[in-house]
Amino acid sequence: MNVLVVEDEDRVADFLCRGLKGEGWTATRAGDGETALSLLKEGGFDVVLLDIMLPGLSGHEVCTRVRARGDEVPILMLTALDATDEKIVGLRKGADDYLSKPFSFDELIARMEALHRRARARAGATPGTLAGDPVQFDREALCLKVDGEVVELSIKERDLLALLLGNAGRVMSRERILNAVWGLNEDPMTNTVDVYVGRVRRKLGDHASRITTVRGAGYRYDAQDV
């Protein structure tokens, strides 16, 4: 696995790079956001460890710019702040996971491996079809197969499932879903997204747990039953 470590503190960066190399992985360090963006533009990274507090561009800004150019590389954000609000901001900026300092190196490795698995599952999916039995999604036919049985979907249910499926393993905010599926801007008074997520979950039957509610952040689709 090729990992980009974006960390300005030498001590922390050295610790991470040594540990990752000890796992048999390749680790490249960037000490600031601009360098990280330049390296990511070249591609080739499997996971990014991104500190929030960086000189110049913050980790949040780096994350925003990476996602804006369509790069779906898994991003695990690191922070010395353990505030829930801080984590929610990071997830809404496009981060896939969050870890507060100080952390267990074993937990860091486990989280990175999970992100890498999800990314490979997304890459292995064929257009319109969920990679992973027993749930098969056919966008063109407006239906999905659950345990071999055809389940019909409305147009909006189809679009919602396609959006979640296309971003499997990544938290999708209600605002982003509302904009992508209904073409609406944020409306704190509407529960449209929650209602439709409930409908899609019911149609997934025994596999409803694949759509996870991430409190305060949105929803995430997992390629396997939770």
pLDDT, residue 130, reads: 47
Q: Is the pLDDT of residue 62 over 70?
A: yes
pLDDT, residue 123, reads: 60
pLDDT, residue 216, reads: 85
Per-residue pLDDT band at 32 (split at 50, 70, 90): very high
**Pairing outcome for strands 75-79 and 2-6:** unpaired
Q: Which domains does the chain show, CATH number per domain?
A: 2-123 (3.40.50.2300), 135-221 (1.10.10.10)
Q: What percent of the chain has pLDDT over 70?
A: 88
pLDDT, residue 81, reads: 67
Mean pLDDT across 12-39: 91
Q: Is the pLDDT of residue 11 over 70?
A: yes
Task: Judge contact between 65 and 22, C-beta under 8 A.
Answer: no
Place of tokens 């030498």: 10
Task: Judge contact between 177 and 161, C-beta under 8 A.
Answer: no
Write the pLDDT tens digit of every residue in 83-118: 667 778 888 888 888 888 888 899 999 999 888 887
